[in-house]
Structures are given as structure tokens and as C-alpha cells.
Amino acid sequence: MRLFPVSALATILLTSCLLAGPGLAAAGDVVTLKNGSTVYGEILDMIQGKVRVKTSFGTEETISIKWAEVAQITTDHPLPVRLQDGTVLVGTLVESEKGMLKVKMDPLGALVPVPFEMVAAVNPPAKPPVDIQGNITLGIAGASGNSELKNISALGDVVARSEQLRLTLIGRYVYGESNSQVAVRNSRGTVKVDFFTTKRAYLFTSAYFEQDTFQDLNLRTALGAGTGYQFIDKGDYKDLYKSGMQLYGEVGLAYFNEDFKIKPDQTSTRLRTSVRWDWPIITDKIVVYHYDEFFPSLDNIQDFYLTTDQGFILQIIRDFVMKLQVTYRYNNKPPPGIQSSDTIYLITFGYSIGK
């Protein structure tokens, strides 16, 4: 029996593949570009406006394609598709008109057309059950000799977020001596829990505590509850410089108590409003932030208390940061002999949690 030459067999197989055209080569995932080019391989994901494809060239090469240049995608296996409103569709991407994804939902096989502009991500990485972010910083200053100075300040701001719950912890402690005399001593703490009833709306409960030796204040307490709304959340903007921005506002009622050293204690029911804005710029290397809590009395509109924190967080190296904060407080009805407003300027250094 005459054996068929191996080289001739290889030539026939290669010729067959070429004549078969796209039909044979298209096994796997296919990305068709607006210019007519086609990329075959395995779609890894589409996040931050770029599609990553592990090519089928027989290597481990991965290429990145701008989402704006893609006309059509098909896959041979199910993938999760996350929409701009947070909805997640899981299914195989089948052939559709340009500028559309058509998701074949298994096991029913229903076809769901989705315009490209409504797609936030394809096969995004799984989110951790709880996302923790924040920073803890410390500042120390001292002098001795012709002048005596001691100063210590500590700041903490940590937010833990799951799909439905958000826990916020904020703390501040400032102490200073000048020539062995106490010059400043105050502290505050806020604990707040948010329960999201929708992707944007939530209910909250909060507790605010503050002490200040030079405001005749043993303890200021505000226990509140109400509703809030997330106006801007991470990922709402696709721009690199705005993608991490967050903004929310809240309104509710609070039990408000001030325990003074000399002035008679005061208790009232107050409105509580709050706004928080965080803007990480240049991928968290610079963060601009603002947070306020406003407590106007329901008994006397001229009796109100306002506290605000605003500033910058600058990345030094890796997770180490410098924090520049201005804290402003205003009490429209202070004790006799006490000024209405206080401003604290702080520069602290510390550690950033999360990204």
C-alpha cells in the first residue's frame, strides 16, 4: 500500500481551512470593528471603555480595543453584561445589527437587544461583598526652649459599602498646648448607617458626638434618621478624571442635646441635612472632598449648628497620603462669651484604605 506524503496532507488541510473562509475561523468569540476588521479569540472583558480579547493566533497575546470602535460582538458562551442602570444580563451574545448587543438569555433563549451606549461592562470582575475605603492620618508638632509647644491631631474617615448597606465612620481629635497651657482640645465622631432601597435612594440613621473645651461644651449629641439620595456614584462618568466621583444628599430629623459646663443644657428636635462630595482626580492621586452636617432647630429657626470638613488628600507613595483639611463650625446661639465660629486647619499624614 502506498503511503500518502505527510507534507501533501498538511498542504491539503491548510488549503481547506483557507477555502472554508470565515465560517471555520469564526469558532469562539468574534469582535467586528467599524472599519470592517474582525478579531477572533476569547473576550476577556469590557471595562472602562476597552474590550480585551485573548486572540486565537496560537499565542497568549491579549489585545485591547476601544469600545467606541466596535460594531458587533458574538460569543460561543454566556457572559454577564452590566448595564448603566446596574442591571446584569447573563447570556450568549449573538449576531445583531451594528451598534447593538443581542443577549440570548439561557435557558429560555429569549433575545434581549441592548444599544452599545447602555452597556457599562461585559464580564466585569466580581465585586467584593464589602468594599472598604477611607484613610487614617496623624499630625504631631512640638517645640522647646524659648517657647513650649505640643500639638497632636488625628483624623479618620472610613466607609464600608455592600450592595444594600453603607457604614460611615468619621473621627477627629485635636489637642494643643502652648507654654504648658492647653490652647485647643476638641474631638468629634460620626457613625452613620445607610440602607439602600433602590440603586440611588436610601434610608439612614446617624449619631454625632462632639466635645470642645473652649466652647464650654462637655458633649454635643445628635441622633438622627431620614432619607438620602445618591446623585452621583462611582462609574456614572466614563471620563478618567470623573469616574470615581460620588455625591449624595440627606434630610431627616434629629434629637439634639448640648451638655454645657456653665450654660444650662439644651435639648431640642432639629432638622438634619447633610451633603457629601468626594472627587478622586488622576486615579486617586489627588482627592477633593467636602462633608457637612447642618442642624437647624424646629422651635427657633435662628438657632442652628453647622459643621463642615473639606480639603485635599494627596498620595505620597503607594498607600501613604498627606491630608490637608479645613474644619469649620458655626453655632448661631453659643454660650455667653463664646464666639459663634471656629476654624481648624490641619495637615496630617497617614494611610489610605482601599482604592
Average pLDDT over residues 198-220: 95
CB contact at 8 A, 322 and 348 = yes
CB contact at 8 A, 204 and 250 = yes
Span 291-304, pLDDT tens digits: 999 999 998 888 99
Q: Do the domains spanning 27-122 and 131-353 agree at the CATH topology level?
A: no
| DSSP assignment string, 60-113 | --EEEEEGGGEEEEE-SS-EEEEETTS-EEEEEEE--STTEEEEEETTTTEEEE
pLDDT score for 149: 85
What's the rounded Cα separation, in Å, for the pair 259 and 268?
A: 12
Span 216-227, pLDDT tens digits: 999 999 999 999
pLDDT > 90 fraction of the chain, expressed in percent and rounded: 46
Through-space distance between the first and last CA atoms of the chain, rounded to whole angstroms: 70
- Coil vs helix vs strand at 145: coil
pLDDT score for 59: 60
Mean confidence (pLDDT) of the chain:
86
Kindly report the CATH number that applies to the domain delimited by 27-122. Answer: 2.30.30
- Whether the ω angle into residue 107 lies within 30 degrees of 0, i.e. cis, is yes
Cell numbers of 290, please? Answer: 467636602
- Coil vs helix vs strand at 192: strand
Identify which of 63, 60, 57, 90 has the alpha carbon closest to the alpha carbon of residue 75.
90
pTM score of the predicted model = 0.69
- What residue ranges do the domains of the chain occupy? 27-122, 131-353
Span 26-66, pLDDT tens digits: 458 888 888 988 888 888 888 878 888 888 665 667 888 88
Quickly name the fold that domain 131-353 has.
Outer membrane phospholipase (ompla); Chain C (2.40.230)
